[in-house]
Amino acid sequence: MMARLREASGEGLLGLAARCAVIVAVACVVAVGVNAARLGGLPLLPGEVPCPGVSRVLWGRFDHAEPKEARRLWQEASAAFVDARPHEEYIFNHIPGAVNLPYRKFSSSFAENESLLAPTGVVVIYGDGKPCGDHLRVAKLLAERGFTKIKLLDGGYPAWEAGGYPVQGGHARGETGVAP
């Protein structure tokens, strides 16, 4: 009788342990998937993370444009430019022709400017120059709305201005109005 009891409890413990292992494995897979898809997900692999706090999946989802390439696209008028900085900074100075879609007021700004942006066209998004700034969040929101050709301007507005490229707003490099 004791032998049977030991045998039955042994099978029960093994079965319980196996079920617990499956539950833990499924939970780990779900957690890694949610972390990878989430803006601000934790890096899971060692090494250089291009944007700490942003998942590699999201970071790798968008193309990047050096200021020189962005200027070429601007000169050819082959891309729409989106300024993701707050409206006050946009008014102060911005790339001529850029649409202002600040992250914190994205919904209302997008509704006002949606007709100026083509979901199938190239969109260059820039921010304040921080690699993990609001431009990345705006890119994610545009991608969720069906935009497929998104480029992030490396270095943001400061890199554009440092390149001596045209600006509008009157407060960059001591200028008033649009730079040549």
Q: Answer for the pair 135, 156: CB distance below 8 angstroms, yes or no.
A: yes
Q: What is the pTM of this model?
A: 0.66
How far is residue 133's CA from residue 100's CA, in Å, rounded to a whole number?
15
d(CA 59, CA 54): 7
Distances (CA, A) of 115 to 45, 77, 92, 127, 148: 41, 16, 24, 21, 16
Percent of the chain at pLDDT above 90? 51
In this prediction, residues 58-87 reach a mean pLDDT of 91
Domain 56-162: which topology?
Answer: Oxidized Rhodanese; domain 1 (3.40.250)
Task: Parse the chain into domains and list their residue ranges.
Answer: 1-37, 56-162
Statement: residue 169 has pLDDT above 70: yes
Cα diameter, the chain:
96
Measured in whole angstroms, how far is the alpha carbon of residue 81 from the centre of its chain? 15
